[in-house]
Amino acid sequence: MTDGILGKAATMEIPIHGNGEAGQLPEDDGLEQDLQQVMVSGPNLNETSIVSGGYGGSGDGLIPTDEVARGIAGEKFDIVKKWGINTYKCTKQLLSERFGRGSRTVDLELELQIELLRETKRKYESVLQLGRALTAHLYSLLQTQHALGDAFADLSQKSPELQEEFGYNAETQKLLCKNGETLLGAVNFFVSSINTLVTKTMEDTLMTVKQYEAARLEYDAYRTDLEELSLGPRDAGTRGRLESAQATFQAHRDKYEKLRGDVAIKLKFLEENKIKVMHKQLLLFHNAVSAYFAGNQKQLEQTLQQFNIKLRPPGAEKPSWLEEQ
C-alpha cells in the first residue's frame, strides 16, 4: 500500500516511534510556529462563482439577487467547512509526527539541500550585517579625514612657520578621502548585491520551500486518512468514502509532487546564480580593499571601471556616492 501511494524512489515514509508522553520528549521550539503556519492561511471568502443579475434580475441566465445571496452564503459555508476539515487533518498529522505516533514522507536529498540553503542564508546575513557596519565605519572615517584636512589647510594659511607641514598633511588627507570615497563605493556595491541575493533571491526560494512543506504536511495528512479508511470495514457506505478519500489524496499528492519539483529547480538555479554573483562580488571586494590599503589610486579607479560602478559627486544626498549602471 505504501509503495503504491508514494510512487517515487526519491521519497520515503519515515515512521516516528515513541510512547507519546510529553514529559519524555525533547523541547521543540518550532512546534508552536508550525501550528501557527497551519492556521495562517484562512479560507478565502472573497471569491464566488455565482453571478448576480443585479437588483432587476431580468437578464437571461442571471440569478435574482435574493437567490444570489443564499448561493454566496452556501459557497462561503462550504469554503469554511473545507478549510476547517483540512486544518484539522493537518494539525492532527503535525501533532502525530511531533509526538512520535505517525510517519512523514521524506525526500532526504531535497531536505538536505533545503537545510543547507537555510544555513547559507544565515551566514550570508551575517556577512551582510558586517558589510553594512564596514560602510558605516568607512563613512565616519571619511568625515573625520575631510574635517581634519580642512583644519590642516586652514592652519597652513594662518601659520607661516608651519605652512609647508600643514599643507602636505592637508593634501594627504584630501587624497585619503578621494581613495576612501572610491573604496566606499565599491563596498556599497558589494553590500547591495549581497542584500539582493539574501532578501530577494534566497527569500523567494524559501517562500516556495514553505509552500512545499505545507503541501507535504497536507499530503501526509490525507495519506494517513486514506490508509486508516483502507484498513476499516468494506461496505457500501465505506466504499463511497474511500473513493472520495482516494480522489482527495491524489489531488494533494499531485500538488506535493509539483511543488517538490519547483523547489528542486529553484534550488538548482539559486546555486548557479549565487556562484556567479559571489564570484564577481568577492573579486571586486578583494581588488578594491587591496588597492586602497596599498595606496594605489589608479588600481582603485580601474576596479570600479571593471565592474561598471560610478561614483557620485561628493555633494550627493547619500554617503555612498554609488550608482550601478
DSSP string, 226-270: HHHHHHS---HHHHHHHHHHHHHHHHHHHHHHHHHHHHHHHHHHH
For each successive 10 residues of the chain (325 residues), what is the average pLDDT?
42 49 43 56 55 46 60 63 68 70 84 96 97 95 94 92 92 91 94 95 95 91 84 74 87 94 96 95 94 90 87 52 35
pLDDT at 38: 56
Q: Which residues pair with 103 in a beta bridge?
A: 15
Element (H, E) at 14: strand 12-15
Mapped onto helix, strand or coil, the DSSP state of residue 105 is strand
- Cβ–Cβ < 8 Å for 80, 45: yes
Whole-number Å distance between alpha carbons of 194 and 204: 14
pLDDT at 134: 96
pLDDT at 110: 95
φ, ψ of residue 14 in degrees (nearest 5): -100, 110
pLDDT at 42: 56
- Cβ–Cβ < 8 Å for 252, 219: yes
pLDDT at 283: 94
Q: Which residues pair with 310 in a beta bridge?
A: 323
Q: Residue 189 corresponds to which cell in the numbers above?
A: 556595491
The CATH code that applies to domain 113-305 is: 1.20.1270.60
